[in-house]
């Protein structure tokens, strides 16, 4: 038992390009739709404070022969001490023997596949040739969402960036301007990243206040809260003409914990997996407001992790570790 150890830098060197990652995620959604994946809802513990969590996320995707688990944490108070608020580890297991074959840093994979999910939601649910993207929050998820949306929807030209601190959104715009042809504008008010946007992506901590107001949400816009329950107020939920979700059980658990006054409305809900498989209609009318929930399916992490592991092994990256030694 000598699994390959891969850190974030080695993962980045072995990883597919953004467009390839989006294709992997899309293929995994289709495999889920076809019953080729075993993905139980997340289980977790909340040590020390209500916002803290550690989630265990196992998955088996038979169509990709991808077996493993992600173990991910979120401790928001770490930021004040200069430590990362989120950390993760991915363990891959041989599908024939169950023996561990790789232990990998988990956040690079988390950010990349979550950004790919946002891009696919925008592809399925946004109107024709969307031009204006609003980003609320500009950490790792904001960066990867822009990269992946740019790879899938080259029509996006204008990006409006809101965040809690002026220096973070200005730095984000300076950095990401080098990665694509889009025009980036930092905005001081969240409203400036919501009104008249074709696509809105939020990635903010779960706060007591919800900065995105329903009255700012323009007809025909798709809102993708990667924070799931964090950014939007109750009016957003009520105004949505259509909703999409890739993990109803995960969404229900999140609503029960953080927004207990709300419940899933099955009449307005469509599975993102069914959109990927061409089995559902994305929107009924051009003016529909659509709310898309990306809940963090482990199948997506594990399929991407296996692809990176195979590439890294071929390239001779990482190092082996004797578990029995």
SS3 (DSSP) at 53 = strand
Please give the pLDDT value at position 231.
93
Which DSSP string corresponds to 214-271?
Answer: GGGPPTT-EEEETTTTSSB-HHHHHH-SEEEES-HHHHHHHHHHH-TT----TTTEEE
Please give the pLDDT value at position 1.
83
What is the distance between the alpha carbons of residues 23 and 28, in angstroms, rounded to a whole number? 9
What is the distance between the alpha carbons of residues 212 and 275, in angstroms, rounded to a whole number? 26
pLDDT tens, residue by residue, 31-69: 999 999 999 999 999 999 878 999 999 999 999 999 999
Could you identify the residue written with the tokens 């790792």? 140
Q: Is the pLDDT of residue 206 over 80?
A: no
Could you identify the residue written with the tokens 């899309």? 26
Please give the pLDDT value at position 80.
85
Contacts 24+ apart (CB under 8 A), 68-75: 68/92, 68/93, 68/102, 68/302, 68/305, 68/306, 69/93, 69/298, 69/302, 70/106, 70/109, 70/110, 70/298, 70/301, 70/302, 70/305, 71/106, 72/106, 72/107, 72/110, 75/48, 75/49
Q: pLDDT class for 207, splitting at 50, 70, 90? A: low
Q: Is the pLDDT of residue 77 over 80?
A: yes
Spatial CA neighbour of 255 closest among 293, 292, 229: 229
Please give the pLDDT value at position 208.
64
Paired tokens of 81: 């001490």
Q: Is the pLDDT of residue 169 over 90?
A: yes
Which DSSP string corresponds to 135-152?
Answer: EE--SHHHHHHHHHHHHH
Please give the pLDDT value at position 110.
97
- Give pTM, 2 decimals: 0.95
Other beta carbons within 10 Å of 163: 24
Average pLDDT over residues 16-29: 98
230 vs 184, which has greater pLDDT? 184
Please give the pLDDT value at position 127.
86
What is the distance between the alpha carbons of residues 227 and 232, in angstroms, rounded to a whole number? 9
Residues contacting residue 104 through CB under 8 Å, at least 6 positions apart: 5, 6, 11, 89, 90, 91, 92, 305, 308, 309
Beta bridge partners of 92: 68, 102
Most confident of 14-18, 75-79, 209-213, 257-261: 14-18
Q: Is the pLDDT of residue 19 over 90?
A: yes
pLDDT tens, residue by residue, 115-164: 999 999 999 999 889 999 999 999 999 999 999 999 999 999 999 999 98
Q: Could you give the domains of the chain?
A: 4-108+298-320 (3.30.1780.10), 110-293 (3.40.50.720)
Instruction: Compute the mean pLDDT over every residue in the chain, rounded to the nearest whole number.
Output: 95
Q: pLDDT class for 209, splitting at 50, 70, 90? A: confident
Residues contacting residue 110 through CB under 8 Å, at least 6 positions apart: 70, 72, 86, 88, 296, 301
């Amino acid at each position: 038992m000598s699994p390959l150890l891969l850190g974030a830098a080695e993962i980045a060197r072995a990883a597919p390009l953004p467009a390839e990652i989006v294709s992997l995620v899309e293929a995994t959604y289709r495999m889920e739709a076809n019953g080729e994946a075993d993905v139980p809802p997340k289980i977790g513990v909340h040590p020390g404070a209500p916002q803290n969590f550690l989630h265990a996320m196992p998955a088996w995707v038979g169509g990709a022969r991808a077996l493993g688990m992600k173990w991910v944490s979120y401790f928001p108070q770490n930021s004040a001490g200069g430590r990362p608020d989120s950390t993760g580890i991915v363990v891959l297991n041989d599908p024939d023997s169950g023996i561990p074959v790789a232990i990998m840093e988990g956040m690079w994979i988390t950010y990349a596949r979550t950004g790919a999910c946002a891009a696919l939601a925008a592809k399925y649910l946004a109107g024709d040739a969307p031009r204006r993207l609003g980003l609320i929050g500009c950490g790792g998820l904001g960066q990867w969402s822009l990269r992946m949306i740019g790879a899938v929807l080259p029509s996006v030209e204008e990006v409006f960036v809101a965040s809690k601190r002026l220096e973070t959104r200005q730095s984000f715009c300076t950095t990401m301007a080098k990665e694509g042809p889009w025009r980036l504008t930092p905005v001081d008010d969240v409203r400036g990243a919501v009104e008249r946007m074709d696509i809105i992506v939020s990635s903010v901590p779960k706060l007591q206040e919800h900065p995105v107001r329903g009255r700012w949400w323009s007809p025909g816009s798709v809102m993708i809260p990667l924070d799931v329950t964090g950014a939007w107020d109750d009016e957003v939920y009520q105004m949505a003409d259509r909703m999409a979700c890739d993990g109803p059980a995960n969404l229900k658990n999140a609503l029960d914990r953080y927004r207990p006054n709300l419940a899933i409305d099955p009449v307005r809900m469509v599975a993102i997996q069914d959109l990927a498989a061409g089995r559902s209609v994305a929107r009924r009318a051009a003016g529909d407001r659509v709310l898309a929930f990306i809940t963090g399916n482990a199948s997506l992490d594990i399929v991407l992790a296996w692809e990176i592991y195979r590439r890294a092994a071929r390239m001779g990256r990482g190092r082996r570790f004797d578990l029995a030694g």
